[in-house]
Amino acid sequence: MLKTKAKVWLRRRCAAWGKIDKSRLTQPGVRVLMYHDVEDVASNIYSVSTGMFEDQLKYLKDNFEIVSLRQAYEFLTGQKELKNTVIAVSMDDGRECIYYNAFPLLKKNNVPGCVFLTTADKGIVTKDQVKEMRAAGIEFGGHTRTHCLLSRAPLEQMKEEIVGCKADLEAVLSESIEFFAYPYGLRRHYNQLSRQIVQEAGYKCAFSAINGINYPGCELFDLKRTKIERDDSLESFKKIVNGALDCWSIFDSI
């Protein structure tokens, strides 16, 4: 517990005080933001308040091109030319607050988003909500069935979680599910075997929770994301999306 609190405190300080390495901004890349819950629950460090979420979306709209995950993939694979750094918005787990709070704000601000859904967990969006969100342009990706810790799962369970989640989503949406996010997502939470099974399942790329930005030609089954948490002020958020917290990948890779 003490170690966790210390890490949270250190991240908060880095986000607030971090400096942007402007030399890195000359190379355009794809920054994928990673959210969890969007709701007004102060005790949940992974929950961004609805007001802050909208403020963040407005800042992104004023300062970046915001793209879908499909477009992000096309930039990374050279199908589209990347002239400036672009932003994509992703949300993990798919709890119902995403439908009630994040989804309306994404629609209101005309911002694309992708939900990495755990298809067999409790408290997640319903099938009808998934269909409604997809019809409005929200993308969906796999996140296993039960938020399984893949690095500790036996082979057969790993396959069931990864392949089964894809099948669940495809049965609801009647379309191919091409993107995946590793549960927990730090280096110790997934391994080469899980990456291989994700690839063999037919996903086109997979995202970690390791902080950072992605560049064309990078490893598609080990993509980075930039975590956004409740304690990030708007000023910290502005620094984070411009790279001030990318150094945190050192801690994420331990």
Domains and CATH numbers, the chain: 28-252 (3.20.20.370)
Dist CA 14 CA 183 (whole Å): 24
- The pTM (predicted TM-score) of the whole model is 0.94
Structure tokens at 236: 């910290």
- The rounded Cα 223 to chain-centroid distance in angstroms is 10
Phi/psi at 126 (5° precision)? -80, 170
> pLDDT per position in the chain (254 positions), as tens?
444 677 777 887 777 777 665 555 678 999 999 999 999 988 888 999 999 999 999 999 999 999 999 999 999 999 999 999 999 999 999 999 999 999 999 999 999 999 999 999 999 999 999 999 999 999 999 999 999 999 999 999 999 999 999 999 999 999 999 999 999 999 999 999 999 999 999 999 999 999 999 999 999 999 999 999 998 999 999 999 999 888 888 878 77
Question: Is residue 109 classed exposed, middle or buried when 0-12, 13-18 and 19+ CB atoms within 10 A define those classes?
Answer: middle
- Tokens 């930005």, located at residue: 213
Helix boundaries (H) for 67-208: 69-76, 96-97, 103-108, 127-135, 155-173, 192-200
